[in-house]
Homo-oligomer: A and B are copies of this chain.
Amino acid sequence: MKTQEKDSRDIVPEPTVKRLPLYLHFLKKAKENGVLTISAPIIGQELEQDPTQVVKDLAYTGVKGRPRVGYNIYELIKGIEEFLGFNQVYDAFLVGAGNLGSALINYPEFRSFGFKIIAAFDISDDVVGTQRGDVNVLHFNVFKELASKLKVRIGILTTPAKVAQEVAEQMAKAGIRAIWNFTPVKLKLPEGVIVQNTSMYSNVAVLVMKLNNQLKKNKD
């Protein structure tokens, strides 16, 4: 089970990919404060990561640091951004313009993270035709046409769970190659369609579990 896609280009550990944006955020903040060079131990200290872990993660980007000096912060930021593919920007369509969808549309920072939401879709008359910032909410029945015309490759799924599978299939048919899935549904799609799940519930579970454990611990 579990197809892990062992490819020469896919050898970078997922935990590393997840940590790099955190470094990036911290580095940008440091740059704003006038920092010119920064060492792995400092980054590790600030973000509570093992310094050797930081070194290993940064090594994947190909950026070289210098002993006793650290990394040039400009090079490092540029290196991480290029490595993660954040220098080019994909257009994305979002389906499900409820609260969560609206929240994501209003994350303008996504543009610096490799993609930009250029339109939203829904089926409810209440929201179709409205705007979220400068993003229009269109009816889902024009999704396919627009997606193929504009060659959109990323879809964001923020619909109710009940229609998630159906919508995802439509997305795939319309040429969407990567779906960011915010529903708790395990999507079944043709091979080749990338699905990235962001389950609020998994995070809740970890939080509640930890809290329970701690409160129990304090009791005795």
Q: Are A48 and B113 in contact (CB under 8 A)?
A: no
Q: Which residues of B contact A180 (CB under 8 A)?
A: 203-204, 207
What count of chain A residues pass the 8 Å CB interface test? 73
A2, closest chain B residue (CB): B50
Give the distance in Å from the alpha carbon of A99 to the alpha carbon of B104 in the complex.
Answer: 8
Annotate A185-214 by CB proximity to B: 1 below 8 A, 0 otherwise. 110000010101011111111111111111
Q: Which of B7, B102, B202 contacts A21 (CB 8 A)?
A: B202
Q: Are B113 and A201 in contact (CB under 8 A)?
A: yes
Instruction: State the main secondary structure of chain A at its contact with B.
Output: helix
* Contacts A48-B1, A49-B1, A106-B98; A203 near B198 (Cβ below 8 A): yes
Question: Would you give the shortest CB distance from A53 to chain B, in whole angstroms?
Answer: 8
Central interface residue in A1, A24, A26, A153, by most chain B CB within 10 Å? A1
- Does A103 count as interface, using CB distance less than 8 angstroms? yes
Question: Would you give the shortest CB distance from A72 to chain B, in whole angstroms?
Answer: 22
* Contacts A44-B1, A213-B7; A208 near B113 (Cβ below 8 A): yes
Q: Which chain A residues (74-117) contact chain B, with CB distance < 8 Å?
A: 84-86, 90, 98-100, 102-107, 109-110, 113-115
17 contacts between A and B (CB under 8 A): A9-B216, A17-B206, A17-B209, A19-B202, A21-B199, A25-B161, A85-B212, A90-B211, A98-B103, A99-B106, A100-B103, A104-B200, A154-B207, A177-B214, A177-B215, A192-B214, A194-B210
Chain A positions within 8 Å of B, measured between CB atoms, are: 1-2, 7, 9-10, 12, 14, 17-22, 24-26, 44, 46-51, 84-86, 90, 98-100, 102-107, 109-110, 113-115, 153-154, 161, 177-178, 180, 184-186, 192, 194, 196, 198-217
Please give 14 more A-B residue pairs, beta carbons under 8 A apart, in addition to A9-B213, A90-B208, A192-B214.
A9-B217, A18-B203, A21-B199, A21-B205, A22-B186, A22-B202, A24-B201, A98-B106, A110-B204, A115-B204, A178-B207, A178-B214, A196-B203, A196-B206
